[in-house]
A and B are shown apart, each in its own frame.
Chain A
Amino acid sequence: MGSETFRIGFLPLVDAALPILAHELGFAAAEGVAIQPVRDLTWATVRDRLLYGHTDAAHLVAPLAIATTLGRGRPPVSLSVPFVLGLNGNAITFSIPLGEACGLGEGLGDPVALGAALKQVAAERRAGGRRLRLGVVHRYSSHNYMLRYWLAQVGIRPDEDVEIAVTSPPFAADALAAGEIDGICVGEPWNSIAVDRGVGRIALASAQVWRRGVEKVLALTAATATERPDAVAALVRALHTAAAHFVAPGTAGDSAAILARPEYLDAPVDAILRAITDRIRLVPGGAPIHYPDFMFQYREAANFPWRSQAAWLYTQMVRWEGRPFDAAEAAAAMATFRPDLYRAALAGSGAVLPGASSKLEGALGEPIAAGSTQGRLVLGNDRFFDGRAFDPDDMPGYLAGLP
């Protein structure tokens, strides 16, 4: 059974739920695999443990899987993503003073109106010689790209009008409290913890920027994916079962209690439960509001690794690095996502299997039936807030049209 063990690196975040629940609730054992969760505090260490064999798989920010394959900042090592661990679930939290300066009310902000207010505050602060500083959890994170996408589309130039700084999730509340950052785009429960500590207020959910934004992924080295195909397939099935359980009615309380434990998130169960149930407390002392699909799981084949998602992340990577589009790199980035492994693992099960491996992103305003080879696939509203759609077959054209 030794070869069927997966040591899985993770950071203390709500979207590390699926491997943890697959381990704790026996879904992994039912598939004949054993999961050993390995907790870390930085994505750099999660990545290094994966590359040097301390772990067999990792809960990873999707862009970092692509950056590792492409060799950004280190020699390239090909990674494979057979399974997406979830969509969205992040928020943009402002410090209390920035929230007041932008006139945030009791509800979530409107991306366009809030963007206009933030633009004015950013200009004032810049003129005063101290630019606004906004935190993201990693250079190669969806948080960085979602925040920058929003800022750029409302006319705020990242790195020019505002500073973007890296802040690890568990230190988000401290950094807001100390005034080191004026806002942060981070995953749960760290927004909620900042609110509960009275040092921040949630301004936007990442789902308001892109309704179906790809978030964390399960990453393996391409070598592991090749050498252990049966074990990887069993792991994917276990995670898929865990995802179905995660969204099943009546399970949220137990899931939150497991995730809250010291060996996992080591965080208050109440904040975790709010994230899982899409009920978000926006202001200190306020009543949680219901924001549907704050964190998106399982439905609409949400765990399927669409190559078009990897393509969108690649466009944002070159956009903010200031590098030219490179067709070979784009192909390598897309090949990191492995819908073939997802299909191989779940063929013959009850899982919905999309017929295509790539799709237009952000083109759907309302639910629509889509082609599938197994089960019935319905895709919901997946719009970006500015209504722009992304065609993975025309990345240069898309990049040329961005501000």
Chain B
Amino acid sequence: MAAFDRDWPGPAPDCRSSSVRIAIIDTSTTRAAIISEGLREAGLTDLAVIDPAGPLVAQVEAAAPEVVLINLENPSRDLLEDFFAMSRALARPIAMFVDQSDAAATMAAVDAGVSAYVVDGLAKQRIQPILELAIRRFQAFSRLQAELAEAKTALADRQVIDRAKAILMKRRGLDEPAAYALLRGHAMQSNRRIAEVAEAIVTSDAVMGGL
């Protein structure tokens, strides 16, 4: 987040001294929890986490937030923007946070998958740390998801390799190290992953049955 470091004049702000009411709208309740936790740690405790299963506009209206954080791909964004457009009639209308002087920050947010809406008149220096934190948490969540997907793949790989080894041991009368060596040798020869070779063996065993 070099953009923030470069733009930020002086030490990090003490968020505790100012209370900003923040609403979090996210289709992922896990990510919403991760963001809330981060905001709380930074002293921003005036939070409303919107229940994605409940009525959106009524909840946001009741929360009367000064900042709204929503995931970019949330299917309710058009509805939310319609509500904000109607809020123009209110004393402090809400609009998308896109301070032209700070296009880099908004772009970083959109890249991270979050969009922010802010009430008119809220000082930029109070918005920036919130947005920065949300971006970091969104990115951390994406990394976690990627790691989880990797872990799942690794687990699936190990399971299919174990099954292929068992098939080879039974069919060829090999012991486990020999079965694994056979798999590995095939993978190297054909320039494929061991799991791919294992999957081919498991599939053909299922198709060919007891032949």
Q: Are A139 and B82 in contact (CB under 8 A)?
A: yes
Query: Which residues 38-87 of A have a CB within 8 angstroms of B?
Result: 40-45, 48-49, 52-54, 72-75
Q: Is A205 an interface residue (CB 8 A)?
A: no
How many angstroms from the CA of A29 to the CA of B90 in the assembled complex?
50
How many angstroms from the CA of A40 to the CA of B115 in the assembled complex?
15
Say which residue of A43, A54, A72, A75 sits within 8 Å of B78 (CB atoms).
Answer: A43
How many angstroms from the CA of A170 to the CA of B79 in the assembled complex?
13
Interfacial chain A residues near B111, Cβ < 8 Å:
52, 54
Least CB distance from B77 to A in Å reads 4
> B-facing mask of A160-200, CB < 8 A → 1, else 0?
00000111101100000000000000000000000000000
Query: Which residues 18-68 of B have a CB within 8 angstroms of A?
Result: none
Q: With contacts A52-B107, A75-B100 known, is A45 near B77, CB below 8 A? A: yes
Query: Which residues 77-121 of B have a CB within 8 angstroms of A?
Result: 77-82, 84-85, 88, 95-96, 98-100, 106-107, 110-111, 115
Interfacial chain B residues near A167, Cβ < 8 Å:
79
> A-facing mask of B107-143, CB < 8 A → 1, else 0?
1001100010000000000000000000000000000
Say which residue of B78, B85, B98 sits within 8 Å of A42 (CB atoms).
Answer: B78
The closest CB in chain B to the CB of A53 belongs to B107
Q: Are B82 and A166 in contact (CB under 8 A)?
A: yes
Q: With contacts A52-B106, A53-B107, A75-B100 known, is A41 near B75, CB below 8 A? A: yes
Interfacial chain B residues near A74, Cβ < 8 Å:
95-96, 98
Interfacial chain B residues near A168, Cβ < 8 Å:
75-76, 78-79
Q: Is A137 an interface residue (CB 8 A)?
A: yes
Looking at B79, B95, B96, the one whose CB has the most chain A CB atoms below 10 A away is B79
Q: Is B169 an interface residue (CB 8 A)?
A: no
Say which residue of A48, A73, A171 sits within 8 Å of B84 (CB atoms).
Answer: A73
Q: Are B78 and A44 in contact (CB under 8 A)?
A: yes
Q: Are B78 and A166 in contact (CB under 8 A)?
A: yes
Q: Are A52 and B82 in contact (CB under 8 A)?
A: no
Q: Is B72 an interface residue (CB 8 A)?
A: yes
Interfacial chain B residues near A45, Cβ < 8 Å:
72-73, 77
How many angstroms from the CA of A72 to the CA of B158 in the assembled complex?
54
Interfacial chain A residues near B77, Cβ < 8 Å:
42, 44-45
**Chain A interface category by residue count:** 20 to 34
How many angstroms from the CA of A75 to the CA of B102 in the assembled complex?
12
Least CB distance from B193 to A in Å reads 26
Least CB distance from A75 to B in Å reads 5
How many angstroms from the CA of A192 to the CA of B163 in the assembled complex?
48
How many positions in chain B have a CB within 8 Å of any CB in the partner chain?
A: 24
Least CB distance from A46 to B in Å reads 10
Interfacial chain B residues near A43, Cβ < 8 Å:
78
Least CB distance from B73 to A in Å reads 6
Q: Are B100 and A137 in contact (CB under 8 A)?
A: no
Least CB distance from A139 to B in Å reads 5
How many angstroms from the CA of A53 to the CA of B77 in the assembled complex?
19
Q: Are A166 and B79 in contact (CB under 8 A)?
A: yes
Q: Are B81 and A137 in contact (CB under 8 A)?
A: no
Q: Are A171 and B110 in contact (CB under 8 A)?
A: no
Interfacial chain A residues near B82, Cβ < 8 Å:
138-139, 165-166
Q: Are A138 and B96 in contact (CB under 8 A)?
A: no
Q: Are B73 and A41 in contact (CB under 8 A)?
A: yes
Q: Are B75 and A44 in contact (CB under 8 A)?
A: no
Q: Are B95 and A73 in contact (CB under 8 A)?
A: yes
Interfacial chain A residues near B100, Cβ < 8 Å:
75
How many angstroms from the CA of A52 to the CA of B84 in the assembled complex?
21
Interfacial chain B residues near A48, Cβ < 8 Å:
72, 110, 115
How many angstroms from the CA of A296 to the CA of B77 in the assembled complex?
29
Q: Are A52 and B79 in contact (CB under 8 A)?
A: no
Q: With contacts A48-B72, A139-B81, A166-B82 known, is A54 near B110, CB below 8 A? A: yes
How many angstroms from the CA of A52 to the CA of B106 in the assembled complex?
8
Q: With contacts A43-B78, A138-B78, A168-B79 known, is A75 near B85, CB below 8 A? A: no
Q: Are A171 and B75 in contact (CB under 8 A)?
A: yes
How many angstroms from the CA of A165 to the CA of B78 in the assembled complex?
10
How many angstroms from the CA of A74 to the CA of B110 in the assembled complex?
15
How many angstroms from the CA of A53 to the CA of B103 in the assembled complex?
12
Q: Are A73 and B85 in contact (CB under 8 A)?
A: yes
Q: Are B75 and A42 in contact (CB under 8 A)?
A: yes
Interfacial chain B residues near A139, Cβ < 8 Å:
78, 81-82, 85
The closest CB in chain B to the CB of A136 belongs to B82
Say which residue of B81, B88, B106 sits within 8 Å of A44 (CB atoms).
Answer: B81
Least CB distance from A196 to B in Å reads 21
Q: Are A75 and B98 in contact (CB under 8 A)?
A: yes
How many angstroms from the CA of A72 to the CA of B88 in the assembled complex?
10
How many angstroms from the CA of A114 to the CA of B193 in the assembled complex?
65
Least CB distance from B184 to A in Å reads 36
Least CB distance from B52 to A in Å reads 13
> Could you show 10 A-B contacts with beta carbons less than 8 Å apart?
A42-B74, A44-B77, A44-B81, A48-B110, A52-B111, A74-B98, A75-B98, A137-B78, A166-B82, A168-B75
Chain A to chain B: the 5 pairs with minimum beta-carbon distance, closest first: A44-B77, A166-B82, A42-B77, A52-B110, A74-B96
Besides A75-B98, A139-B85, 7 more A-B contacts (Cβ < 8 Å) are: A45-B77, A48-B110, A54-B110, A74-B96, A139-B82, A167-B79, A171-B75
